[in-house]
Structure 1
């Protein structure tokens, strides 16, 4: 249609999928705070590279579970925050969104039987 989509987080003129998911300074800061301690070296701002790195985590079962869950929850809340900003003009700071994501991840782990299994005992700690 030729409409220009402006990023609601940083004001970048072209809001693309790759920009929205981690090339934007707001979402990359959020990504670093959510997953920065799980991936070494720190996560990239490139969506495809992040997907590949998370999919390649196979030697650490707990890390793989937490990384995949963190990725899914981060994507969901970034999209939700984007829509909130577009439709309600309500903006949350990165720190608040990180706390919400962290809480959601912990609640998801506790709502499953993961944390009760002996092999997965360290999931919440991670």
Structure 2
């Protein structure tokens, strides 16, 4: 099978993990859309995101959980979009992927049983972060 060396999401640079998930204009628009809701200056590489999650134990448990979920969902759906473009030639816009990330996050948060450890509840915290007042 022949897989292109150039990023199939932006066609602007060779595809590396760092480019695909953080430098690519398509991917960065997805990641920054969500990360900027929680961070003033979101990290722009996987190591910085992981370091932030590990170092900011003083942040609320809700914030750490939501950030991990945003990160996991963004990475998963960007990778899924990349593969869809290569293997089926179907294309979804960055807006469509952002909508899918939002839906995946909401579905996951809805499936979590309410817990006294998370006050306010995670879904309420997510809406407070991502929706204007």
**Structure-2-length-normalised TM-score:** 0.82
Contact 1:6 1:13 (C-alpha < 8 Å) held by counterparts = yes
1:43 alignment partner, SS class: coil
Tell me: CA distance 1:4–1:103, structure 2 relative to 1, closer, same or farther (3 Å).
closer
Alignment of 1:1-126 (within 5 A): 5-40=5-40, 42-59=41-58, 60-113=60-113, 116-120=114-118, 121-125=120-124, 126=126
Bigger shift: residues 25-34 or 4-13 = 4-13
Residue 131 of structure 2 corresponds to none
User: Number of residue pairs matched?
Assistant: 121
What's the Cα RMSD here? Answer: 1.7
Tell me: CA distance 1:85–1:37, structure 2 relative to 1, closer, same or farther (3 Å).
same
Residue 130 of structure 2 corresponds to none
Displaced runs of 4 or more, over 3 A: none
**Structure-1-length-normalised TM-score:** 0.86
Shift of 1:118: 3.0
In the aligned structure 2, how far is the partner of 1:57 from the partner of 1:97?
28
